[in-house]
Amino acid sequence: MSVAIAPAVLVERSVPMAGAVELVVYHPPSAGAVRPGQFFQLAVGAPHTILRRPYSAAWSDSTRGIIGFIFNVVGAGSAWLAARGEGDELDLLGPLGRGFELDGTRPAVCIAGGLGVAVFPGVVQALVALGRKVTMLQGARTAVQLLSADRFPGADVQVATDDGSAGRRGSVLTLFPPPFTGEGQGRGIDLFACGPTPMLQALIDTARRQEIPLSSIQVALETPMGCGVGTCLGCAAPRREGGYLLTCQDGPCVRADRLDWDRMEDQFHG
């Protein structure tokens, strides 16, 4: 594992969707090393906080030496990061964990609920670059919380919103399986999913009903995290054969058949 604690420079800050912030940081070694689905631990300087905050790289550009992070402002740590200005230094630890396994020839379907979409710009870009047919299904509460479809060039983007303000009304799962899968339903495709635990559980339920093998589904897990490198054992996720995986080392991207979905908890992220 090549892990670096690196001073990186914030070069661009924007609001990609309501409630979220996108930070673009310049750090060529990390931009060159990170794989889609991997994460970094970002140090925060907010009063009375102590832990780093784990964020997946939304995308990276090794040529320009930059990485993007997209996150919601949910607490003191994310608020502190969101308040950084261009030119400020950020302290990154990473890249950490396992990204998605992207190789393959079958159609790829990405499913994102809420902020789970934050990991997908880089994933979709890599899948498209591999020549795969890519469908991006994105769900949010309301239209302004959707990441723009032009962030997924080369993919067929479909959206759903809880209030029906954009795309189909309902959860992102109302878009699944996408029509091209036809009568075969979701078999014969590879799935990449990230979102709230209830959404992932609903996806797994759907997959079981439609006899889609869970080994064809990769999920990017989000759990509270302490160290990010496997020492604190805080980021446990239930393993199918009993015991726990560590999200930071065994994930965050894992195949769904490695997890015990009956024991998956919707964890507290305050």
Partner 1 sequence: MAERLDLTVDLGRGLRLRSPVLVASGTFGYGFDAPQVDRAALGAIVTKGTTLRAREGNAPNRIAETPSGMLNAIGLQNPGVDHVARVYAPVWTSWNLPVIVNVAGDAIDEYVAVARRLDGVAGIAGLELNISCPNVADGLQFGVEPDLAAELTSAVRAVTRLPVIVKLTPNVTDIVAIARAVEDAGADAVSAINTYVGMAIDVRRRRPVLSRVSGGLSGPAIKPLALHAVWQLAQAIRIPVIGVGGITTPGDALEFLLAGAAAVQLGTVNYTRPEAAGEVHDGIAAYLEEHGWPDLGSLPIRSAGVLANA
**Is 4 an interacting residue with respect to partner 1 (CB under 8 A)?**
yes
Exactly one of 156, 201, 234, 255 binds partner 1 (CB under 8 A); that residue is: 234
Question: To the nearest whole angstrom, how small is the minimum distance from the Cβ of residue 184 to partner 1?
Answer: 36
Nearer Cβ to partner 1 (45/184):
45
Nearer Cβ to partner 1 (73/166):
73
Nearer Cβ to partner 1 (52/258):
52
Question: What backbone phi and psi angles, to 5 degrees, belong to 255?
Answer: -75, 140
Residues numbered 7-66 forming contacts with partner 1, rule: CB under 8 A: 41, 43, 48-52
Residues numbered 212-231 forming contacts with partner 1, rule: CB under 8 A: 223-231
Given a contact cutoff of 8 angstroms between Cβ atoms, the answer to whether 220 and 115 are in contact is no
Given a contact cutoff of 8 angstroms between Cβ atoms, the answer to whether 37 and 123 are in contact is yes
Helix (H) or strand (E) holding 80: helix 76-82
CA atoms of 86 and 211, how far apart (whole Å): 49
Exactly one of 131, 179, 182, 243 binds partner 1 (CB under 8 A); that residue is: 243
**Is 236 an interacting residue with respect to partner 1 (CB under 8 A)?**
yes
Question: To the nearest whole angstrom, how small is the minimum distance from the Cβ of residue 235 to partner 1?
Answer: 8
Q: Which residues of 44-61 are buried (b: 16+ CB within 10 A; e: fewer)?
A: beeeeeebbbbbbbbbbe
CA atoms of 29 and 33, how far apart (whole Å): 6
Nearer Cβ to partner 1 (5/83):
5
